[in-house]
Structure 1
Amino acid sequence: MSDSIAHSASRAATVLAAVCVAAVILPLSFSAGAIATPAIGRALGGGPVALNWITNAFMLAFGSCLMAAGTLADRFGRRRVFLAGVSVFSLMSMLLALAPGTVWVDLLRAAQGVGAAAALAGGSAALAQEFDGHARTRAFSLLGTTFGVGLAFGPVLAGGLIELFGWRAVFVSTALLGALALLLAAPGMPETRDPHAAAVDWPGMASFTAALGLFTVAILEAPDLGWGDPVIGALLAAAAVALVAFALIERRSARPMLDLSLFRYRRFVGVQLLPIATCYCFVVLLVILPIRFVGIEGYAPLNAGLMMIALSAPMLFMPMLAVRLTRHASPGLISSLGLLIAAAGLLWLGGVPVGAEPVALLVPMAVIGIGTGLPWGLMDGLSVSVVPKERAGMATGIFSTTRVAGEGLALAMVSAALAGFAAAGLAPLAATLARFAPGAMAGASGSLRTPIDLAAQRLATGDLSGAAAILPGVPLVLLRQHYADAFHLLTYGLAAITVLAALATLRYLGVGERQSTPVASATACDDAS
């Protein structure tokens, strides 16, 4: 009997270790990719849209495939899907290290995102099968902490590798970590599946992927083509049609990929709000801050990565603290308080001028990280409490899709907003440039975008020299100031979204549901309002 218990504990520890290693490399690939983007642009070329796709192709494929991966894990086996996902992710990482051009990087990053979706969905569902009750809460809290490790050290690792070996070494490192996850999981992870799983919902999968993909492409292309361009209108209309089709397909399916009836439960809705909120107060900063530090402020990649620790390091301890705090207050109250702290940090960060001393940036970044760490530590555990254990693939698939798809959309919208704010600030220069350098204001052939718009887009991607080349005669110091003004407006918008999310979290997750076994094993029935 004791041998059986010891074997079971050893098996659970092996599963936890394998999933946590995979959980480190997924955010590491995301945050490290942001640091590597300027270096990739210098080495391989490519315009702002192509460089934006280095991050967004990964996030789009990741987010659009997560629910499908959760369904596949329930039907064909969590171990099988996890191993396949980590293998694809590692292979694509090695191919990325050999990519000959930016377009190849974009395509391989999309394929890498598909592997990441399978790894996360299969690994999370396998983890939910190995642990129960409070042990499951601790396991998923550790999973959240390992995500924090990847976020915290991804920029530093990327910066050091870029300076020592070049940007290709960043992808080699993630491939090696993927190989480690395979070595841990292959011999020790048991196979589990949902015995009641139905056939794969291919129509639902296709319509959801189409809706998310079309909308993201429209957001990313709008700054280049213009919001009034017929192509953007057609993309948005097609995305809306695909979304309606998805909803109709899921309502009529006997075993849908997304069970829409779950949204009748108040706490289920509240859980989905948390990853959306953290997208806007934290995740987008993992991309736009390195761009600012390297492209606008002029920091070396390694120094930029070291500065990012101020934002991400709180993820190493705040998730565990959040779980402990649930003994004294409800998860809803703790999460809302954290979001309000993060909003205050955003307002503080937005007021720091370009060229300020590093400490002026590091302190508000740490405040944002501390505030975000509170909901970050609770939302993974809450996500598996809304459906029965045997539907863990569905629960983690929905939650992870909300998180990753929200991140991809947030990045696309924030990039577009930053470019828009910069263009509005630069607009008064148009008359001056037209007077003294009329040739500079002639738009590119076949393009509705003015040089002001093009320069603003370059600024938003950290290409200061590219913006200066488009607007000859405009001093670099003035371009930096316009970027700072645009960044200031952006942080105000992000803070407003975060405050609204905090209020909504209080409404849906409640303030009086304190529990001694935090975010452990409530069922969907407990959440009905």
Structure 2
Amino acid sequence: MTTESPALPCSEIPSSPPSASVRRSPAAIVAAVCLAALVLPLSFSGGALATPAIGAYFNGSPLALNWITNAFMLTFGSCLMAAGTLADRYGRKRIFICGIAGFTLLTLLIALAPGLIALNVLRAVQGLAAAAALAGGSAALAQEFEGHARTRVFSLMGTVFGIGLAFGPLSSGVLIDRFGWRAVFCVPLLFGLASLLLGLRYLRETVNPQASRVDWGGILSFTAMLALLTTGLLEAPARGWSAPVTLALLAAALLSLSLFIAIERRIAEPMLDLRLFRFPAFVGVQLLPVATCFCFVVLLVLLPIRFIGIEGRSPMAAGVLMIALSAPILVMPAVAVWLSGRLPAGLISGVGLLVAGVGLLWLGQVEVGASAAAILPPMLLTGIGAGLPWGLMDGLSVSVVPREQAGMASGIFSTIRVAGEGVSLALVSAALSYLIAASLPPAALHLQTASGMAPAAQGLAIGDMSNALSQGWSALQLQQVYQGAFRSLSEGLALLTIASALAVFWFLRGGTVARS
């Protein structure tokens, strides 16, 4: 999720004279930003793994529990480009420090949250802080290093992010098992505090005097579109896809998108230059983060819920199993970079998506409660496939457009990646609830009404079997229903991933454009 800011060092000026309190230490600067990058996947995977425990503790509704992850991803994705613009205009260090300080404080408040509503609101504000930390930190690194050194530090940043993805579920599982769900937020708190202290001491302030003005119209309309779309997708399982509220939310999201496009076409300095979509390769690159959302990111949330809520495994056991999916992110990006010296990047990325699609099809066939020997191979294959485009798409995002548009292309790519994660999670959660509701048999103890069916299906989708059990279904029936729904969902995700692979082959068949 980290991208390089390609702004030229000669266009940058310090916002204040060098101070004795700010020391030039490249290692400390890299450590400050990399620690911030580490807490983001830890917060994401920790919140996902803790969802069943949080639901049991607060007795929360399925909709409220879905917002534990979606609230964070929604604000994070919608504000990332805006945070980058603010960092260029008002100072990279200032935005980074505000972001990581806010993130750290909010992490503490989340650990102390008295209720589910408060927790979700704090998660949403935490997403804003995460956007500031990531955008400010990436821009600060880009100004501290040049050439090959810049490439190496951003590669290290990506590796650190992979470490967070790989071992976040395991560390979260251990903490939940031993200390409860609140302990999950203590590890990001410690790393965030260390990042803050290093950043205050060693980062220098820089601004871009040629930074464009803030496109508030674009920011507000884009954020409104994401918020309305995500809310509509999450409300649909409970209210129905044809319910007036659902249709109104989705229609409002479409209207906000139309408004956003109109603003970006007319404004002199848009947040998103729509002309970039004239480049077929640019369109192909934007498909890569969307595809990895559906073949990898959503599984980081779905599988812990299945392991803990449906299969009854402990959080620590679920975290151990999740290593098979996430550990390849540590290795495969380096393999992809090595292969890119011999094969086209588009070919490598497309093949990786095909492999991930096969892994998803295999994963859907594994029965609920199957042994680790049955579930680990398809998870590993899916992670290996997703890891190939993961290692190339950040570089591709700025290599397929003219050099003078590389900065905006990088911001667009990052926004599509993070916003896509939030939307894909909402869409997949809604689809799983719908598939479960369509398969639930009549309750054995009493007639089941349509209004009662939706809460049972939603609860089962987030791993809460208690509601459905209380309405007359047996645990075996519910596991069988979940298995069928999960199989259908996996097949749908596999088809999306394979279709994305074919589209990537097509759009990236010509390689990169000539750089000016």
Match of 1:491 in 2: 490
Distance in 2 between residues matched to 1:226 and 1:232, nearest whole Å:
7
Tell me if structure 2 keeps the 8 A contact 1:342–1:369.
yes
Map 1:286-325 → 2, pairs under 5 A = 286-325=300-339
Match of 1:25 in 2: 39
1:455 equivalent to 2:462? Answer no
Distance in 2 between residues matched to 1:363 and 1:10, nearest whole Å:
47
Residue among 428, 436, 440 paired with 1:414: 428
Residue among 177, 189, 196 paired with 1:182: 196
Map 1:134-173 → 2, pairs under 5 A = 134-173=148-187
Change (3 A) 1:451 1:221: same
Match of 1:526 in 2: 515
User: Which ranges in structure 2 are unaligned for 5 or more consecutive residues?
Assistant: 1-22
Residue among 448, 452, 455 paired with 1:441: 448
Match of 1:225 in 2: 239
Q: Which amino acid aligns with 1:482?
A: V
Q: Which amino acid aligns with 1:90?
A: T
Distance in 1 between residues matched to 2:129 and 2:84, nearest whole Å:
13
Distance in 2 between residues matched to 1:402 and 1:156, nearest whole Å:
28
Deviation by residue 1:337-389 (Cα, 9 ceiling, x = unmatched): 11111111111111000121111111110111111111111112223445677
Tell me if structure 2 keeps the 8 A contact 1:423–1:452.
yes
Match of 1:477 in 2: 476
Aligned partner of residue 49 in structure 1, secondary structure: helix
Match of 1:508 in 2: 507
Aligned partner of residue 463 in structure 2, secondary structure: coil
Q: Which amino acid aligns with 2:465?
A: L
Distance in 2 between residues matched to 1:390 and 1:71, nearest whole Å:
16
Q: Which amino acid aligns with 2:448?
A: M
Q: How far off is 1:122 after superposition?
A: 1.5
1:367 equivalent to 2:381? Answer yes
Change (3 A) 1:148 1:96: same
Q: How far off is 1:455 after superposition?
A: 1.5
Match of 2:396 in 1: 382
Change (3 A) 1:136 1:388: farther
Q: Which amino acid aligns with 1:50?
A: A
Aligned partner of residue 450 in structure 1, secondary structure: helix
Q: How far off is 1:114 after superposition?
A: 0.5
Q: Which amino acid aligns with 1:299?
A: R
Change (3 A) 1:72 1:391: farther
Aligned partner of residue 206 in structure 2, secondary structure: coil
Q: How far off is 1:503 after superposition?
A: 1.2
Match of 1:341 in 2: 355
Match of 1:465 in 2: 466
Deviation by residue 1:417-469 (Cα, 9 ceiling, x = unmatched): 1111111111xx23xx4xx644x424xxxxxx432332111110101122111
Tell me if structure 2 keeps the 8 A contact 1:282–1:368.
yes
Distance in 1 between residues matched to 2:84 and 2:400, nearest whole Å:
15
Distance in 2 between residues matched to 1:409 and 1:303, nearest whole Å:
28
Deviation by residue 1:22-44 (Cα, 9 ceiling, x = unmatched): 11110111011111111111111
RMSD over aligned CA atoms reads 2.0
Q: Percent identity of the aligned residues? A: 59
Match of 1:518 in 2: none
Q: How far off is 1:311 after superposition?
A: 0.5
Tell me if structure 2 keeps the 8 A contact 1:141–1:380.
no
Residue among 34, 41, 54 paired with 1:40: 54
Q: How far off is 1:390 after superposition?
A: 8.1
Distance in 1 between residues matched to 2:142 and 2:401, nearest whole Å:
11
Distance in 1 between residues matched to 2:455 and 2:198, nearest whole Å:
48
Mean alpha-carbon deviation: is it higher for 460-469 or for 87-96?
Answer: 460-469
How many equivalent residue pairs? Answer: 494
Change (3 A) 1:177 1:396: farther
Distance in 2 between residues matched to 1:501 and 1:75, nearest whole Å:
36
Residue among 81, 86, 96 paired with 2:100: 86
Deviation by residue 1:78-120 (Cα, 9 ceiling, x = unmatched): 2221111111111100000110000011000001100111111
Aligned partner of residue 515 in structure 2, secondary structure: helix
Q: Which amino acid aligns with 2:41?
A: P
Match of 2:292 in 1: 278
Distance in 1 between residues matched to 2:380 and 2:308, nearest whole Å:
19
Distance in 1 between residues matched to 2:216 and 2:328, nearest whole Å:
40
Q: Which amino acid aligns with 1:509?
A: L
Residue among 224, 230, 251 paired with 1:210: 224
Change (3 A) 1:423 1:114: same
Match of 1:446 in 2: none
Match of 1:116 in 2: 130
Tell me if structure 1 keeps the 8 A contact 2:35–2:195.
yes
Distance in 1 between residues matched to 2:230 and 2:379, nearest whole Å:
28
Tell me if structure 2 keeps the 8 A contact 1:204–1:246.
yes
Aligned partner of residue 441 in structure 1, secondary structure: coil
Q: How far off is 1:490 after superposition?
A: 0.5
Match of 1:3 in 2: none
Match of 1:130 in 2: 144
Distance in 2 between residues matched to 1:246 and 1:355, nearest whole Å:
46
Match of 1:445 in 2: none
Distance in 2 between residues matched to 1:379 and 1:454, nearest whole Å:
39
User: Which ranges in structure 1 are unaligned for 5 or more consecutive residues?
Assistant: 1-8, 443-448, 514-521
Give the TM-score normalised by the residue count of structure 2: 0.92
Q: How far off is 1:191 after superposition?
A: 2.4
Change (3 A) 1:112 1:389: farther
